[in-house]
Structure 1
Amino acid sequence: MAQTPQQRRANERFAKNEAAKRGRGSTIKPKQVTKSPVSAGWVVVLAFVVCGGLLLELLRIVPELWTSIAAMLSRLTG
Structure 2
Amino acid sequence: MAQTPQQRRANEKYAKQEAAKRGKPATIVKQKQKPKTPISTGWIVLLAFIVCGGVLFELLRVVPEIWSVVASSFGRWLG
Number of the residue aligned with 1:52: 53
Number of the residue aligned with 1:18: none
The gaps in structure 1 that reach 5 residues or longer are: 1-22
Deviations 1:21-58 (CA, angstroms, capped at 9, x unpaired): xx9x7632221231102222210211221332122011
Number of the residue aligned with 2:8: none
Q: How far apart in 1 are the matches of 2:47 and 2:38?
A: 14
Q: How far apart in 1 are the matches of 2:33 and 2:75?
A: 65
The gaps in structure 2 that reach 5 residues or longer are: 1-15, 17-23
- The percentage of counterpart residues that share the same residue type is 55
Give the TM-score normalised by the residue count of structure 2.
Answer: 0.54
Highest relative contact order (Cα 8 Å, sep 6+), 1 or 2? 2
2:73 counterpart of 1:77: no
Q: How far apart in 2 are the matches of 1:59 and 1:43?
A: 23
Number of the residue aligned with 2:68: 67
Aligned length: 55
Matched residue SS, 1:33: coil
Q: How far apart in 2 are the matches of 1:76 and 1:41?
A: 50
Deviates more, 1:26-35 or 1:60-69: 26-35
Give every structure 1 segment of 4 or more consecutive aligned residues whose post-TM-superposition deviation is greater than 3 Å. none
Alignment map for 1:13-24 (pairs within 5 Å)? none
Query: Counterpart of 1:75 in structure 2: which amino acid?
Result: R
Q: Root-mean-square deviation (CA), in Å?
A: 2.2
